[in-house]
Chain A
Amino acid sequence: MVQQTLAGSRIRERRVMAGLRQAELARQVGISGSYLNLIEHNRRRIGGKLLNGIAQALNVEPSLLSEGAEAALLSALRVAAAEAEAVAVELERGDEFAGRFPGWAGLIAEQHKRLRSLEHTAATLTDRLTHDPHLATSVHEMLTMVTAIRSTAGILADTKEIEPEWRNRFHRNLNEDSQRLAEGAEQLVAYLDDAGDASAGMTLPLEEVECMLEAHKFRFDSLVNATPDELSTFVSNQAQLTSDAARDMAMAVVRQLRADARLLSLDMLERQVKAGNVDPAQIATDYGVPLSTVMRRLAAVSDVMLPMPMGLVMCDASGTLMLRKPVEGFAIPRFSGACPKWPLFQALSRPMQALRQTVTMTGREAKRFDCYAVSEPIGTIQVNVAPLYHSYMLIVPLEEAGAAEAEVGSSCRVCPLEKCEGRREPSLLADVG
């Protein structure tokens, strides 16, 4: 009955949408303007022939005028209004709002549903937030959108009389925010679904660079003779790089790998491999090139030139991982700090000293790896200025079973090792004493 009594509101809304004046519509259906005015203000009930006539004049189905918004929509609006702490009188006017603005009412109901879903998602992600700064930023942005939507929807639902200019502005804001929220939600879901996929969406600039490097298998030999402009064009054309930050980072890495290729060509490496020499320190000595160059080149060419691909990881003096070429069985964390027992970090305390250590990675498979590590100064050497260092670790998988000098993990969060003095935080995998 409530819905039927709002037929007048819907007639008024449809008439305004059709650009008809009240008197004009009244004349078309053969009633007085004042009687139509009473109908439109829900002070006269309407049905039968007159309703059909008005529907025909407005070019809509009679049921569109006689039937109100669906019960589910009204229910959703009431829930949204209740949670927005709307006053009782506004709750009573929910059906009027839905009747006059069914599209916008549907939008508010939909956004309220989305808001609840996102609040739930945000709560369940709390733990992960502390370990994934990019995710934290994304959720922060989404919560900001949710706040804007909640506040704006609350204004539209609670404000008895609102000027058309403000109403239109808030409707536009709702539309904008809901679009941004939807895009953010889609990216977040894709990210969570594909957390282990390096090419997943919503990536950091560094991850974009890694995707680009992965696409080229870390090899840029074709750019050895490229001019600076050609190099710049090459980087600009990489689809994986979506921001200036990513392109700048990629340019630095590509320059480095190109310089490596100039110092140590494919032919030179091939000769060493054919001679059975894949010892980085020996190759560095033979050709008089920095050890880090050999490590980067071996990692790059190992996919095609050697029986097993090699991994590479690089960090700065703070221990922040800046470059990762993954290798099966040696898990390199995406965001959290890596295992402090890696030779990569030991090398930082012994600059310019080449380290080699056989390690096993914790886990069921407990694969063995030969790890070569070295930290080398960056930039030019200046008098009385302490240099900064970058540390590199080449990860060479070993096929044969055997002893290892150390057992290392990926990161504390996923490491089952008990009684590790290097542990920074409890493991998710086991009760660690």
Chain B
Amino acid sequence: MGKNVLVIEDEPNIIEAISFILSRDGWSVATHSNGHDAVGVVQEAMPDLVILDVMLPGKTGYDILRELRSEDATQGLPVLMLTAKGQVKDREMAERAGASRFMTKPFSNAEVLNAVRELVAG
């Protein structure tokens, strides 16, 4: 069984594609598609890495990340943030919220895979 990745993203076809890529690379992938209870889902699953979209129904990825960073258990959890906004201020917001890495849509499969491998390798 490979290491665990939790994908929090509300676009089902992106979830499907990322899940496929990571599964083929040996990762065990769980998914979640709304912001309301995302923090609880992360805390329960305690994956090795979270892929987190910024624009989620219910709560933004920034808010979710801030909450995760305020908890001891998830303070150091690697989080790869995905967003369609690529402006400097968005990158800064992601950094301030505590993102381990920030990736702008549209991204390539190879970019996602490399980022996941690097972040979990530490």
Chain A contact residues, CB within 8 Å of chain B:
84-85, 115, 119, 126, 139-140, 143-144, 146-148, 150-152, 154-155, 158-159, 166, 169-170, 173, 176-177
Most A Cβ at <10 Å: residue of B17, B108, B110: B17
B37 CB → nearest A CB, Å: 22
Interface assignment of B109: CB less than 8 Å from any CB of chain A: yes
Interface positions, chain B 7-24, Cβ under 8 Å from A, are 11, 13-14, 16-18, 20-21, 24
Task: Give chain A's interface secondary structure class.
Answer: helix
A166 to B18, CA, bound (A): 13
Check if A146 sits within 8 Å of B21, measured CB to CB. Answer: no
Take A85-B110, A155-B21, A159-B24 as given contacts and tell me if A144 and B105 are in contact as well, using a CB distance cutoff of 8 Å.
yes
A84 to B106, CA, bound (A): 11
Check if A143 sits within 8 Å of B109, measured CB to CB. Answer: no
Contact pattern, B 12-43, Cβ under 8 Å of A = 1, otherwise 0 = 01101110110010000000000000000000
Q: Which residue in chain A gives the minimum CB-CB distance to B10?
A: A144
Chain B residues whose CB sits within 8 angstroms of the CB of A119 once the complex forms: 106
Check if A84 sits within 8 Å of B108, measured CB to CB. Answer: yes
Check if A155 sits within 8 Å of B84, measured CB to CB. Answer: no
Check if A152 sits within 8 Å of B17, measured CB to CB. Answer: yes
Check if B109 sits within 8 Å of A154, measured CB to CB. Answer: yes
Interface assignment of B119: CB less than 8 Å from any CB of chain A: no
Chain B residues touching A, range:
20 to 34
A170 to B18, CA, bound (A): 12
Check if A146 sits within 8 Å of B13, measured CB to CB. Answer: no
Q: Which residue in chain B gives the minimum CB-CB distance to A146?
A: B106
Which residue from A151, A166, A169, A173 sits with its C-beta under 8 Å from B109?
Answer: A151
Take A144-B84, A166-B20 as given contacts and tell me if A151 and B55 are in contact as well, using a CB distance cutoff of 8 Å.
no
Chain A residues whose CB sits within 8 angstroms of the CB of B24 once the complex forms: 159
Chain A residues whose CB sits within 8 angstroms of the CB of B109 once the complex forms: 84, 151, 154-155, 158
A115 to B105, CA, bound (A): 12
Chain B residues whose CB sits within 8 angstroms of the CB of A146 once the complex forms: 105-106
Check if A151 sits within 8 Å of B17, measured CB to CB. Answer: yes
Check if A143 sits within 8 Å of B106, measured CB to CB. Answer: yes
Which residue from A115, A144, A155, A170 sits with its C-beta under 8 Å from B11?
Answer: A144
Chain B residues whose CB sits within 8 angstroms of the CB of A152 once the complex forms: 13, 16-17
A126 to B20, CA, bound (A): 32
